[in-house]
């Protein structure tokens, strides 16, 4: 027994099968940003024209850095803080920066999973009645709430206001505001309309504060949702990569099935073509500005989740001679295909709701009103659109279940980074019971800090942390990482390490691709990629 315990301390886990690693990388890289950010960036940056800077950034930055991070992890079998200390002690801080960013990420990312879980449960209300974000007749709705479905029931000449229809005589006498009648309020355009879904999200789910002057108390049902999300993460990781490597067989693949179902349904709706046009019709003139190129660089690095130490940690569990070039091609290309598929899933629905709410506007103008990014798209625009379909609760269940899966397999990879960093620093903690305690402690502490995100100022805190902890620091970490490998450690020495690790090309195809290190990639490491990163920061 004593001998077994000593062995457990010394032996580091390995992936049970190569597919476990590939699916873990794919599940980690393909996350919520593919669903709610990439389609929006395409629409904002010239439709299909945006694919030109996007794929160029993928070739000159995405592939080289992704491969570099996997190679570092596989060759050393170390987590970032120990890896960089061994390569060059002066760059030890880069590893700790990555771990710090990961610590921030696990706190705020899980609240998004909690919101998805909350909406998933709320969707069951549609089984026996209406979905809670359908109408404007709830206690949390304000005078600005607008329900186009209810307005269509008004007779000609009547004015719709706050869930009711008023004839012109009454509308000219009743006050919407002290200084305006309902007729004036609606007619002169001062009515700043909000949909029922917007108000449900803002006033009921989030209980959002007007400012950040006071924190307020955590919202009970959100706390329960957050706790549920952390329990889910804990049990996915309780046996380390042995359990998470099997969970990703479902969490990394089933979202594609759901995406395809939603894509087919969305493209059969009236107005879907308006959304598709907004997404793919190219506007080449916009490429003359710098914004599409900067957005493309940011999207590549954020969607592939580089610079956070997670890819290095995942690769550290590989066998020494694993074919990393194959894995890089699969994950990077799979990530991009998913982003494009998401665009063809999201925008038909957006085109549908835009046509229903603003039939009087031009197709592009009305779609642009609803073409939002981030949580606004996921928890306002899309649920509002799904609510207009037959049996809307089924479509909402599918959508929010997809968000949960996309979020959870990204989340437990980042949690695994923190746990692995601790047990690598203190190898005696690798025993199952002790490692479980470490995992539980990380989850508990993250849940405790995450309670701030369930308060009325939670969305403001989320925006701040996402912008300043998960944005520029990642790009800076990638820049320093590439410079360190290329110039401090030495790119020739690094290439030698990769050749030692991966050996000769398995066949002629891999030889044509430049296996194990394509010359184009090391040219990117020493010149092109650092320049692109520097411009993007």
Q: Residue 155, SS3? A: coil
| Domain total in the chain | 2
Q: Is residue 36 a part of any domain in this protein?
A: yes
Contacts of 382 (CB under 8 A, 6+ apart): 346, 349, 350, 399
Dump pLDDT digits (tens) for 170-189.
766 776 666 667 777 666 55
Q: What is the pLDDT of residue 179?
A: 62
Rounded to whole angstroms, how far apart are CA atoms 438 and 527?
Answer: 41
Rounded to whole angstroms, how far apart are CA atoms 82 and 94?
Answer: 10
Q: What is the pLDDT of residue 176?
A: 66
3-state secondary structure labels for all residues of 409-472: HHHHHHHHHHHHHHHHHCHHHHCHHHHHHHHHHHHHHHHHHHHHHHCCCHHHHHHHHHHHCCCH
Q: What is the pLDDT of residue 74?
A: 96
For the CA atoms of 342, 348, 350, 355, the dihedral, rounded to the nearest 10 degrees, stands at 170
Question: Is 410 part of any known ligand binding site?
Answer: yes
Q: Is the Cβ–Cβ distance between 284 and 46 less than 8 Å?
A: yes
Question: And the tokens for 293?
Answer: 């190129």
Rounded to whole angstroms, how far apart are CA atoms 501 and 497?
Answer: 6
Question: Are 389 and 349 within one domain?
Answer: yes
Number of C-alpha atoms within 13 angstroms, CB side, residue 296?
26
Mean pLDDT of the chain: 88
Question: Are 311 and 385 within one domain?
Answer: yes
Question: Are 238 and 381 within one domain?
Answer: yes
Q: Is residue 197 a part of any domain in this protein?
A: no
Tens of pLDDT, residue by residue, the chain (537 residues): 333 334 444 567 889 899 999 999 999 999 888 888 888 888 888 888 999 999 999 999 999 999 999 999 999 999 898 999 998 888 888 899 899 989 999 999 999 999 999 999 999 999 998 999 988 888 898 877 877 777 777 877 787 776 778 887 776 677 666 666 777 766 655 566 788 898 999 999 999 887 777 788 999 999 999 999 999 999 999 988 888 888 999 999 999 999 999 999 999 999 999 999 988 889 899 999 988 998 898 889 888 989 889 999 999 999 999 999 999 999 999 999 999 999 999 999 889 988 887 787 888 888 888 777 678 888 988 898 888 888 999 999 999 999 999 999 999 899 999 999 999 999 898 888 999 999 999 999 999 999 999 999 999 998 888 777 767 788 888 999 999 999 999 999 999 999 999 999 988 889 888 899 888 889 999 999 999 999 887
Q: What is the DSSP string of 295-313?
A: HHHHHHHHHTTTTSSHHHH
Q: What is the pLDDT of residue 4?
A: 36
Question: Is 29 part of any known ligand binding site?
Answer: yes
Rounded to whole angstroms, how far apart are CA atoms 191 and 72?
Answer: 57
For residue 470, the enclosing domain spans: 2-130+214-536
Q: Is residue 208 a part of any domain in this protein?
A: no
Strand pairing category for 159-161 and 145-146: unpaired
Q: What is the pLDDT of residue 7?
A: 42
Question: Is 30 part of any known ligand binding site?
Answer: yes
Cis status of the peptide bond prior to 440, with omega within 30 of 0: no
Question: Are 110 and 157 within one domain?
Answer: no
Q: Is residue 517 a part of any domain in this protein?
A: yes
Question: Are 34 and 66 within one domain?
Answer: yes
Question: Is 368 part of any known ligand binding site?
Answer: no
Question: Are 111 and 157 within one domain?
Answer: no
Question: Is 290 part of any known ligand binding site?
Answer: no
Q: Is residue 136 a part of any domain in this protein?
A: no
CA proximity to 99, closest of 425, 320, 405, 450 = 425
Q: Which CATH number does the domain housing residue 76 bear? A: 1.20.1740
3-state helix, strand, coil in the chain (%, to 5): 70, 5, 25
Q: Residue 251, SS3? A: helix
Question: Are 286 and 178 within one domain?
Answer: no
Question: Are 76 and 110 within one domain?
Answer: yes
Q: Is residue 200 a part of any domain in this protein?
A: no
Question: Is 27 part of any known ligand binding site?
Answer: yes
Rounded to whole angstroms, how far apart are CA atoms 488 and 89?
Answer: 11
Question: Are 292 and 347 within one domain?
Answer: yes
Q: What is the pLDDT of residue 337?
A: 94
Other C-beta atoms within 10 Å of 474: how many? 22
Question: Are 315 and 236 within one domain?
Answer: yes
Q: Is residue 204 a part of any domain in this protein?
A: no
Other C-beta atoms within 10 Å of 253: how many? 13
Question: Are 436 and 475 within one domain?
Answer: yes
Query: What does each C-alpha distance from 69 to 63, 64, 237, 312, 477 come to in angstroms?
Result: 10, 9, 23, 5, 12
Dump pLDDT digits (tens) for 404-460.
999 999 998 999 999 999 999 998 988 889 999 999 999 999 999 999 999 999 999
Question: Is 314 part of any known ligand binding site?
Answer: no
Question: Is 138 part of any known ligand binding site?
Answer: no
DSSP at 126: G
Question: Is 335 part of any known ligand binding site?
Answer: yes
Query: What does each C-alpha distance from 226 to 244, 292, 379 come to in angstroms?
Result: 20, 35, 16
Q: Is residue 249 a part of any domain in this protein?
A: yes
pTM of the model: 0.90
Rounded to whole angstroms, how far apart are CA atoms 530 and 318?
Answer: 27
Question: Are 372 and 514 within one domain?
Answer: yes
């Amino acid at each position: 027994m004593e001998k077994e315990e000593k062995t457990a301390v010394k032996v580091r886990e390995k992936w049970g099968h190569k597919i476990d690693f590939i699916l873990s990388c794919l599940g980690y890289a393909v996350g919520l940003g593919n669903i709610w950010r990439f389609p929006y960036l395409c629409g904002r940056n010239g439709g299909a024209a945006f694919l030109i800077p996007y794929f160029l950034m993928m070739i000159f930055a995405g592939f080289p850095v992704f491969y570099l991070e996997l190679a570092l992890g596989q060759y050393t079998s170390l987590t970032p803080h120990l890896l960089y200390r061994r390569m060059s002690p002066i760059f030890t801080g880069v590893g700790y920066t990555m771990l710090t960013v990961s610590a921030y990420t696990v706190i705020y990312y899980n609240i998004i999973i909690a919101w998805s879980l909350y909406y998933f449960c709320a969707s069951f209300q549609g089984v026996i009645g209406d979905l809670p974000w359908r109408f404007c007749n709830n206690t949390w709705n304000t005078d600005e709430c607008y329900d186009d479905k209810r307005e269509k029931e008004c007779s000609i000449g009547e004015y719709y206001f706050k869930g009711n229809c008023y004839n012109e005589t009454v509308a000219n006498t009743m006050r919407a505001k002290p200084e305006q009648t309902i007729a004036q309020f609606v007619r002169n355009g001062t009515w700043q309309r909000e949909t029922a879904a917007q108000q449900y999200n803002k006033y009921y789910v989030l209980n959002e504060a007007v400012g950040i002057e006071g924190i307020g108390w955590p919202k009970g049902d959100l706390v329960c949702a957050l706790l549920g999300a952390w329990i889910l993460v804990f049990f996915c990781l309780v046996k380390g990569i042995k359990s998470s490597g099997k969970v990703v067989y479902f969490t990394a693949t089933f979202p594609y099935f759901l995406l395809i179902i939603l894509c087919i349904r969305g493209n059969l709706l009236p107005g879907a073509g308006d959304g598709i046009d907004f997404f793919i019709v190219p506007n080449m003139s916009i490429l003359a500005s710098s914004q599409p190129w900067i957005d493309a660089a940011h999207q590549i690095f954020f969607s592939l989740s580089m610079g956070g130490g997670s890819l290095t940690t995942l690769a550290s569990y590989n066998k020494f001679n694993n074919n990393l070039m194959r894995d890089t091609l699969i994950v990077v290309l799979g990530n991009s295909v998913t982003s494009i598929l998401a665009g063809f899933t999201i925008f038909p629905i957006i085109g549908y709701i835009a046509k229903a709410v603003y039939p009087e506007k031009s197709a592009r103008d009305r779609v642009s009103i609803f073409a939002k990014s981030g949580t606004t798209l996921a928890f306002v625009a899309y649920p509002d659109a799904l609510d207009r379909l037959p049996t809307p609760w089924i479509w909402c269940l599918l959508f929010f279940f997809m968000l949960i899966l996309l979020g959870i397999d990204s989340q437990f990879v980042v949690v695994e980074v923190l746990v692995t960093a601790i047990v690598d620093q203190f190898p005696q903690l690798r025993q199952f019971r002790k490692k479980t305690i470490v995992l539980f402690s990380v989850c508990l502490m993250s849940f405790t800090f995450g309670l701030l995100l369930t308060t009325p100022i939670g969305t403001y805190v989320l925006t701040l942390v996402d912008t300043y902890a998960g944005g520029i620091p990642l790009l800076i970490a990638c820049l320093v990482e590439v410079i360190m490998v290329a110039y401090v450690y030495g790119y020739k020495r690094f290439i030698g390490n990769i050749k030692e690790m991966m050996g000769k090309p398995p066949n002629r195809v891999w030889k044509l691709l430049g296996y194990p290190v394509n010359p184009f990639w090391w040219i990117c490491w020493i010149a092109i990629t650092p320049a692109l990163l520097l411009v993007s920061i």
